[in-house]
Amino acid sequence: MIKQPILVFGAALKADGLPHRVLIERVNAAVNYGETCVSPLYIVTGGNPKKGITEADVMRQLLMQKGVLDNQIICEDQAVNTSQSVLLCCELLQKLRFSKQQTIVVVSNAYHLSRCCWLMYISGWRTRRVAALGNASRNFCKCWVWRLREIPAIIWDSFRILC
C-alpha cells in the first residue's frame, strides 16, 4: 500500500512550549486531509525548542490527541526555518524511498503555503496545497505584514535551496 506523505510545516511555539493557534490549525488541516487518504503518513517539521520541546514534538502530540497512530508520524525536529525544513524533509522523503513522481501534500497557512510549495517544487517534488483555516493574525495590519514578508522570503529561500 502506497503511503500518502502529508508534510506539515511548523510554527513558533509560545515561550512555555505550548502551540499558538496557527500551529493547531495546521495540524487540524493535516488531520482533516489525512482522513481522506487510505494510508496517510504525517511528516511534521520544525525545531526551535521552547522549554525543551520542539515544534515537531508538539505537532506529534496534537496529532496523537486527534487519534493519529504513532507509526503514522515522522518528526523532523532540527529545522529552524522554512528552507531548512524543505531541505531536511526532502532528504527524509528520499530516505523513505518516495518517488518524486508522487504528490507530497504540503500543509501550512495560506500566507506561507506558496513559499513551501515553491521550495518543494524547485527541489523536484510535486505538491498539493492544503491551507489551514484562519489567518496568522486576527489583526489586519499584522495579517498583511505576514503576507508581504513572504515575497522577499521566497526569493531568499530559493537561493538557499538552489545553491
Helices 110-122, 82-95: crossing angle, 10 deg rounding: 50
CATH number (domain holding residue 70): 3.40.50.620
Over the stretch 126-146, which tens digit does the pLDDT of each residue have?
A: 999 999 987 655 666 666 776
- The HSE-up count of residue 84 (CA atoms within 13 Å, CB side) is 11
Please, what is the Cα angle at 22 between 16 and 26, to 5 degrees? 115
Q: What is the pTM of this model?
A: 0.93
pLDDT of res. 151: 86
Euclidean distance between CA atoms 129 and 120, whole angstroms: 11
Q: Give the cell for residue 64.
A: 496523537
Domain interval for residue 101: 4-162
Q: Which residues pair with 45 in a beta bridge?
A: 9, 76
How many structural domains does the chain have?
1
The confidence band for 103, taking pLDDT boundaries of 50, 70 and 90, is: very high
Q: Give the cell for residue 156.
A: 531568499
